[in-house]
Structure 1
Amino acid sequence: MTIRKLASGRWQVDIQPQGRGGRRVRKSFDTKAEGIRWERAQLAAADKGEWVPPQRDKRRLQDLIAEWYKLHGHTLKRGEQRRDYLLSLCELMGNPLANQVTAGFYAEFRQQRLQGDLKTNKRHRGPISANTCNHDLAYLRAVFNELIRLGKWQGDNPLSGVRRLKYDDHELSFLDRTQIEQLLTALKESGSKHAYLVAKICLATGARWSEAQSLRGEQIRNSRITFSGTKSGKVRSIPIGEALEQEIFMERPRTGPLFQYCYKAFTRVLDKCNIELPKGQASHVLRHTFASHFVMRGGNLLTLKEILGHADIKMTMRYAHLSPEHLEDAIAKNPLAELA
């Protein structure tokens, strides 16, 4: 019998219950004591002739994804989208046997994704970023973790030992006052009243574009917007000025959907304004603009966390460097200040 500690901190038992030349079995445990107990039980069963070799799992990765969705994924807010994303990843991987998905197998697949060497489907176009790779890894790990919890996957999560890729964070871009005025004027002149008002709501509340665009009249009362069905699942209520509320309902009923789909109209106007933004930040630039100006004007980070609906303060801390106090401390407390 061989029992060894893995890099993950778990203990792996490697035995041949039927003796040399017999079927080899490996199984991992959280503690060494659990491994020893399991090993003794297997050997005792073999001595009595009652040991049955475990059947090979012939399921493919696609089968695991389907089972994960049936038992758990359908309960997630965006479960159907997650399932479709996972299935398209599975297609790129060649839909391997589930027991062929090892840390090494995935690491090679990831490297091909990073280099853009794979034949991509519509959903995945390479090369991709390290951040996208980390999302892929998290989604696949979650499938195995949930099936293990439900007793539908025997053994360890094969991707538990794969490390996330490190990458440099991109600074969150935001619009200055001149750019805000330029954008709102251009939106107003474009004739898209929906895009213009949705943009103003995002700038006034820090809402995501999708949250503002899907608002119903019932969600705005007493100069306050209540967002529900959000990404985090939290309901949050943000005050707005009376003038904005009156502008929203000037030509709209107090009940039912307020806006049509208008994101493309917004991005077209944004492009015409020649406002340069890092790739991928157009959809959130108004949210970042609200948060950045909030902090620069002395807003409290904990309050901002609640306004934005962040689950973790770490997300909100991305704006901390914009705080006036933060900048003043850099001037007052640097070593040159002592020499002045």
Structure 2
Amino acid sequence: MKAKLTSRTIKDLAPAEKAYEVVDTDVKGFLLRVQPTGRMTYYYAYRTASGSKKRIKIGSHGTQVTAQQARDLATRYAGQVAEGKDIQEEKQSSRKAARAASEKTLKRFTENHYRPWAQTNLKSSDSTIQSVYASFPDLLDTPMADISVAWIERWRVQRLKDGNKPATLNRLVNALRSILTKAVEWETIEEHPLRKLKALHVDSAPKVRYLNSDEEERLYRALEERDMKLKEARARANEHRAIRGYELMSDLFRFTYGDRLTPLVTLSLKTGMRRGELFDLTWENVDLDTKVITVTAETAKSRRTRHIPLGPTALKVLTAWKQQAPLQAGRVFPADDGGRLDNVNTAWRNLLKAADIFNFRWHDMRHDFASKLVMKGVPLNTVRELCGHSGLDTTLRYAHLAPDHKAEAVALIG
């Protein structure tokens, strides 16, 4: 059937028992297919330079295109065919290119390729990836090759205005960089889009926070008072339960500590272990006879095993804690349900408040450990080994604390 395909002629078409086609009389190859359901679809049929017959879908009448819009597209296709182009092949190639490009977006690459690798090879990979997602939500659906230095510069300017510290922004950008680096290494993209981006300037010798003698005394006193309050609260609870005939809980006065917090804090201060390393520590890696804790490569941030000698205080604390600690899963500090401990944030904040200590994070106990070793004259490389620093540069932040080393040097010239 032939007719000029206009809105008026199409309006008069009725569906038949079988599908049929109406070929336009003006534009060669332009046609409308009418389905028994009444659905009408425009196509453009043509022959390639090699003589093959092909057709390309233009769109559904009414819902996607009008008769005039379909005619305009068919006319454009006719011109391209006259130039020797295979429009169907080009359209398929464009679709393939679009699909390939979508696989190169930041989130697709991260989920399909980077995350599986990172979970096997990097410590805290999931939290690092989550920090990238939270910090750069506008980049997740962007092709990695289109991520620009200018965009990151604008992002950093705004974040600095919001009060973020340069070191924090450098850390977040480095997490993003690491994903893009793997994309280049695995030939997903040709070159690193942030290769010319310079890090924000950060003081190479930042102030190190550690406890002075008064703060340390207040901290330990607050821990003792806290343990006593926990024991007294447990005793009152058991009196209450006994009156009502309930099963009694363990009498904490039989033990040294009220709960895990005092051993955790003391070990942090006396071994310099990271919080995650303490949460992962098992009794298998605590040797009370040789007085050594082993931090295994699987739980260490540096992915290298290190051994930490136990001083008298740390040894005393661990010995006492082992007598009362739950032994689920062999962890030294298991969670209440026996699994891995998640955090002690509330207890830590309340402790600092009770001790009247300010601007002191849990991680600062690690700085306290390293600082006091250096102040006692321990060589920096030994401090590096005990703390598990990957390089000496990190340890050098404590160099200024070494006793009189600068004064002695200046004294040499009178």
> What is the TM-score with the length of structure 1 in the denominator?
0.71
When structure 1 is superposed on structure 2, of 214-223 and 315-324 the one drifting more is 214-223
- Which residue does 1:123 correspond to in 2? none
Q: State the Cα deviation string for residues 3-51 of structure 1 (Å, max 9, x = none).
A: xxxxxxxxxxxxxxxxxxxxxxxxxxxxxxxxxxxxxxxxxxxxxxxxx
Match 1:235 to one of 305, 309, 317: 305
- Which residue does 2:195 correspond to in 1? 160
Distance 1:295 1:70, change over 3 A: closer
Cα distance in 2 between the residues matched to 1:93 and 1:189: 50
Whichever residue aligns with residue 330 of structure 2, its letter is G
SS at 1:140's partner residue?
A: helix
- Which residue does 1:194 correspond to in 2? 260
Q: State the Cα deviation string for residues 276-306 of structure 1 (Å, max 9, x = none).
A: 32xxx51212111111111111111111111
> What is the TM-score with the length of structure 2 in the denominator?
0.59
When structure 1 is superposed on structure 2, of 180-189 and 213-222 the one drifting more is 213-222
Distance 1:98 1:267, change over 3 A: same
- Which residue does 2:180 correspond to in 1? 144
Whichever residue aligns with residue 196 of structure 1, its letter is T
Cα distance in 2 between the residues matched to 1:316 and 1:297: 15
What is the CA distance between 1:137 and its match in structure 2? 1.8
SS at 1:69's partner residue?
A: helix
- Which residue does 1:298 correspond to in 2? 377
Q: How does 1:2-13 map to 2 (within 5 A)?
A: none
Cα distance in 2 between the residues matched to 1:193 and 1:303: 33
Match 1:73 to one of 101, 104, 118: 118
Cα distance in 2 between the residues matched to 1:115 and 1:94: 23
Unaligned runs of 5+ in 1: 1-51, 117-126
What is the CA distance between 1:67 and its match in structure 2? 3.5
Match 1:217 to one of 257, 277, 283: 283
- The question of 1:84 aligning with 2:113 is answered no
Match 2:101 to one of 40, 58, 72: 58
What is the CA distance between 1:68 and its match in structure 2? 3.8
- Which residue does 1:308 correspond to in 2? 387
- Which residue does 1:318 correspond to in 2? 397
What is the alpha-carbon root mean square deviation over aligned residues?
2.6
Q: State the Cα deviation string for residues 172-207 of structure 1 (Å, max 9, x = none).
A: 110122221210110121125311111111122111
- The question of 1:95 aligning with 2:161 is answered no
Cα distance in 2 between the residues matched to 1:306 and 1:298: 15
Whichever residue aligns with residue 268 of structure 1, its letter is N
Q: State the Cα deviation string for residues 205-241 of structure 1 (Å, max 9, x = none).
A: 1112332243222221122211221111122111213
Cα distance in 2 between the residues matched to 1:266 and 1:172: 20
- Structure ranking higher on relative contact order (CA contacts 8 Å, 6+ apart): 1
Q: State the Cα deviation string for residues 98-131 of structure 1 (Å, max 9, x = none).
A: 3331111221222222223xxxxxxxxxx42211
CA contact (8 A) 1:58 1:98 kept: no
Bigger radius of gyration among the two: 2
Match 1:287 to one of 341, 351, 366: 366
What is the CA distance between 1:94 and its match in structure 2? 6.7
When structure 1 is superposed on structure 2, of 310-319 and 64-73 the one drifting more is 64-73
Match 2:322 to one of 239, 249, 265: 249
Cα distance in 2 between the residues matched to 1:252 and 1:136: 38
What is the CA distance between 1:93 and its match in structure 2? 4.1
Identity of aligned residues (%): 25
Give runs of ≥4 in structure 1 deviating > 6 Å.
Answer: none
> How many aligned positions are there?
270
SS at 1:141's partner residue?
A: helix
Distance 1:283 1:63, change over 3 A: same
Whichever residue aligns with residue 186 of structure 1, its letter is A
Cα distance in 1 between the residues matched to 2:380 and 2:331: 32
Distance 1:287 1:94, change over 3 A: closer
Whichever residue aligns with residue 212 of structure 1, its letter is L
- Which residue does 1:42 correspond to in 2? none
Cα distance in 1 between the residues matched to 2:193 and 2:213: 50
CA contact (8 A) 1:198 1:212 kept: yes
- Which residue does 2:353 correspond to in 1? 271
What is the CA distance between 1:311 and its match in structure 2? 0.5
Distance 1:74 1:217, change over 3 A: closer
CA contact (8 A) 2:222 2:355 kept: yes
Cα distance in 1 between the residues matched to 2:276 and 2:220: 18
What is the CA distance between 1:247 and its match in structure 2? 2.2
Cα distance in 1 between the residues matched to 2:350 and 2:206: 24
